[in-house]
Amino acid sequence: MKAIELRGIIPPILTPMHEDESINVPELRRQVDRMIENGVHALFPFGTNGEGYILTAGEKQLVLETVIEQCNGRVPVYAGTGCISTKETIAQSKMARDAGADVLSIITPSFAAASQDELYEHYKAVAAAVDMPIVLYNIPARTGNALAPATVARLAQMENIVGAKDSSGNFTNILGYIDAGKQKENGTFYTLSGNDQLIIWTLLAGGTGGIAGCANVYPHTMASIYNLFMEGKIKEAKEANESIQSFRACFKYGNPNTIVKTAARLLGYNVGPCRAPFNQVPEEGIKALKKVLAENEAKGMH
């Protein structure tokens, strides 16, 4: 298994689409370059912000292969391969392995309620089937299934389960994952924040970065949080993290990843709309976004 450090700011890169909702491959390549040129530390295709929940298996393969090819080894590539069934998750994980992904990000199964033992067996089966670094992905508000820190501690004992991303917004849960990771006996366990506002606090607590949707709008600003932290400039890192609050306040106008993609469009990038039905932002939301984007541009955020 390839040894890789899970560190820094990792954008769940947008999946650009044409107006007919087909994948806009040339624009995806441009977004890969834009992210890397602004200093991000890895890329994560078809996460929540990449609309992985609504892409077909064939589209996921197209997106992943495009991102890997365009990255050309400049940064690691994470692939979101979690599905509802264990069988399909294994199939998607093998696809990502064969495409050349560096890391698998595997969201908990969704819709049907799962016990902690069922979640454990799910991840155990995938880890046994695919010899690649795996990041557990907890986002209970979307999936309905929360991955308990105690379960993370059990899963961390598997050699290729190397980290967890927490998007619960509950900092206590992140701390629980960090503590669970300390119990890993074979190798290092990395904890990543999935909540953009908690990145600096996660780093200060012993985590190693964040999978940050806002990096699709402000890649340089978001990457600077980690870079400043590593330079020991904690005050400046906190300020960089706090600078996205006005943008995140716009999330009240719609689905957060719809807001992020709309913001990228308003900045002039041809990423298209989110796939229906998750594609609407009211006029007051557009007005608020334009105001915030202009204010942040004046501050030098990009």
Catalytic residues: 137, 165
Q: Is the distance from CB of 145 to CB of 119 less than 8 angstroms?
A: yes
Angle of helix 57-71 relative to helix 25-37, nearest 10 degrees? 40
Q: Output the six-digit token pair for 82.
A: 């979690």
Instruction: Count CB-CB contacts under 10 A for residue 62.
Output: 19
Listed in order, strand segments (DSSP E) in the chain are: 8-10, 78-80, 103-107, 134-138, 161-166, 190-193, 209-211
| 226-243: b (≥16 Cβ within 10 Å) or e | bbbbeeeeeeebbebbeb
Q: Output the six-digit token pair for 285.
A: 């939301």
Angle of helix 57-71 relative to helix 86-99, nearest 10 degrees? 30
Cα–Cα dist 194/202, whole Å: 10
Q: Which residues have CB under 8 Å from 252's CB, separation 6+?
A: none
Q: Is the distance from CB of 45 to CB of 69 less than 8 angstroms?
A: no
The DSSP line for 125-175 is: HHHHH--S-EEEEE-HHHHS----HHHHHHHTTSTTEEEEEE-SS-HHHHH
- Chain centroid to Cα 91, Å, comes to 21
Cα–Cα dist 285/302, whole Å: 20
User: Any idea how long the chain is?
Assistant: 302
